[in-house]
Amino acid sequence: MGAYTRESMEPHPIRLVVTDDLRRSRLTVFFRLLLAIPHFIWLVLWGIANTVVLLLSWFAALFAGRVPDGLHGFMAHYLRYQTHVLAYIELAADPYPSFDGRPGYSVDLEVAPPIEQSRLTVFFRLLLAIPALAISYFMNYLVNIVVFFAWFICLFTGRMPEGMRNLVIFTIRYHVQTAAYYSLLTPRYPSLNVGLEAA
């Protein structure tokens, strides 16, 4: 982690782009979890394939020092789709996500191209990710409480409070940066910078 101190001043290679306007449909807010069930199923099915690709990527990066473009693209695509679904169910976005994870969603994910990675950190990547995973789990637990109250606010006002939305976005961003780190999409550790990207 200390090796990336200089990079901490540069934009993170895994970033969210937010174009959400805070308006929410009361009807879809009320049925949000029910509407998301098909996405939960697809996440599991796509996730199985992604796990296989991740394993292949680990071996490739361990021996070549870099994740191949095709494997990197597959995992980035899955993570983008996961980001869209998370934003939808946690009320950070309103449009129903597409099932193909195409770019352009109101809370979107940008992933930088693959770069050379240290074979040593690749070998120990899951161990190195444990602190970030613990932080992500704790943050997600807390933000679920925020989303619970936000659900009532959206239901009655048709709008997501900006502060609540930004807190949810911050949590999602840390989660996907953590996932990108242990998935070898980037050697950069997740950032707790509170800045919010916008298109």
C-alpha closest to that of 83 among 148, 175, 194, 161: 175
8 A C-beta contact, residue 16 and residue 107: yes
Average pLDDT for residues 47-65, to the nearest whole number? 97
H runs (alpha helix) in 105-161: 119-123, 125-157
Strand partners, 109: 16
Q: Which residue bears the tokens 């309103």?
A: 94
For residue 195, what pLDDT is reported?
A: 61
Phi, psi (degrees; rounded to nearest 5) at 184:
70, 20
Average pLDDT, the chain: 93
pLDDT at residue 174 is higher than 60: yes
Instruction: Give dist(CA 167, CA 171) in Å, integer.
Output: 6
What does the pLDDT look like over 31-46, one tens digit per residue?
Answer: 999 999 999 999 999 9
pLDDT: which is higher, 27 or 1: 27
Q: Tell me how far apart the 2 most distant CA atoms of the chain are, in Å.
A: 55
Distance between CA 107 and CA 131 in Å, rounded? 26
Is-contact 32 147, C-beta < 8 A? no
Number of Cβ within 10 Å of residue 145's Cβ equals 9
DSSP 3: G
* pLDDT tens-digit readout, 120-167: 999 999 999 999 999 999 999 999 999 999 999 999 999 999 999 999
> Whole-prediction pTM value?
0.90
Tens digits of residue pLDDT in 73-100: 999 999 999 999 999 999 999 999 999 9
Please compute, for residue 52, the number of CA atoms within 13 A of its CA located in the half-sphere on the CB side.
5
Q: Would you state the pLDDT for residue 6?
A: 56
Read off the pLDDT of residues 4-17 as tens digits, 9 standing for 90 and up: 455 556 889 999 99
Domain ranges of the chain: 2-182
Give CA separation, 189 vs 45, 50, 52, 71, 192, in Å. Answer: 27, 21, 23, 20, 10
Residue 2 pLDDT: 44
What pLDDT does residue 1 have? 44
Instruction: Dump the DSSP string for 162-189.
Output: HHHHHHHHHHHHHHHHHHHHHTTS-SSP
Q: 90 is written with which tokens?
A: 């946690």
- Mean pLDDT value across residues 99-116: 96
